[in-house]
Chain A
Amino acid sequence: MKKFSALLIAALVLFVPGANAQLATGSSISVSVVVNVTSSITLSTSGGSLNFDGTTGTTNNIAFATSWSLGPTTSIKLYTWFSSPTAALSTGPANIPASQIAATFQSPGTSGSGTPCNQAFGVGNGVIDGASCSVIDVGRGSDGSTPNPAGNNNGSANVTYSLSILNFPTYKTTIGAGAYTGTLSAIVISI
């Protein structure tokens, strides 16, 4: 009987291991998974150049289009500025300062005009202090809504924009003649 048992165990040893061949490491190895969703803001312009009318001192309208994908924020603003506080427009020997020009704008949630473009916001990013026009709160919706400070913010806005020379009927008689040129720059900043 003992001999029979020994044979049976031997048979089990021969055949069973094939069914129970388990191998495992002593512990699991973790893999770090990171999904990096980057905040972004895009800005584009349409409508061509800003050409001042010699009779009215105002320009044609252009449009700024911006869209954003951001995390929590309280502020999404469009800044526009000239290259110099003293020479927003220049024709060589003669200059028109930024303080003599104002922007007129219409965004979904705000509008404005008449403020001289000699503002200083101290926001960096190339925005020139003393040569900036009114800041435009593009993050404000037409219903008065503001950016979500506790969650994600995805949105877009279109801004209609033009410039005008302040006190134009009088001012135009005080400047030298010529073809004045300049550059308006724009950027959207979320803080």
Chain B
Amino acid sequence: MRKLASIFTALLLLLAPGIASAGVSSNTVTVPMNFSVPESISLSLSTNSVTLTSAAQSADVILTLGYQVQGGHTSATVFSWFSQTPVAGAVTISSGQFSTAYNHGAQVTCNQPAFTGFSGGVPNQDCGTFSLPGISTTLVASTSVTLTLAAAPSTFQGIVGNYQGGILNIEFVIL
């Protein structure tokens, strides 16, 4: 009988820690968290000066486009236009003598009408546009685009002179 009791006691001792380890827990508390990341967009150029000659009738400008946006945007576009055309004395080279191309694609003459969906630009002095894909799904990006500015060959058959003061504007817009 005593032996049986000692075995029973031993079993209780063995099992007791298991019962104790069931654990005790507190209530659960929650803390709200907030973090705001503002939207941003950037555009930088490899150069801000282009000189065209009869020997080099076009020049490349590397555009570095960057953005950090939230969801919901529908387009990311580079616009370019002339706000002033080159002048030598009383002679002006019209914007229609120039063209732009992006990533060596199709050339677009810089005499386009007003841009659609963009209030900038100068009608009939607008050049081509470039659409960056994936804005609806890619919220952060940095990419390079080659803009080629070219003057028509006939430009160099005109009145000799050093035509200066031309301003080509480039703007990156996300809508």
Contact = CB atoms under 8 A, between A and B. Distances in A.
B158 interface: no
Contacts of B31: 45, 49-50, 62, 183-186
Interface string B32-65: 1111111110000000000000000000000000
Nearest to A165: B35
Contacts of A172: 37
Nearest to A69: B24
Interface string A100-125: 00000000000000000000000001
Interface residues of A, number: 52
A1 B68 CA distance: 130
Interface stretch (A16-24, A29-37, A86-94): A86-94
B35 A52 contact: yes
Which applies to chain A's interface (DSSP): helix, strand, loop or mixed?
strand
A189 B139 CA distance: 40
Contact of A189 (B24, B36, B71): B24
Nearest to A187: B28
A88 B23 CA distance: 28
Contact of A173 (B23, B32, B35, B140): B140
A44 interface: yes
A142 interface: no
Interface of B: 20-21, 23-40, 68-71, 139-140
Interface of A: 39-45, 49-52, 54, 59, 62, 64, 66, 68, 70-73, 88-89, 91-94, 96, 125-126, 163, 165, 172-191
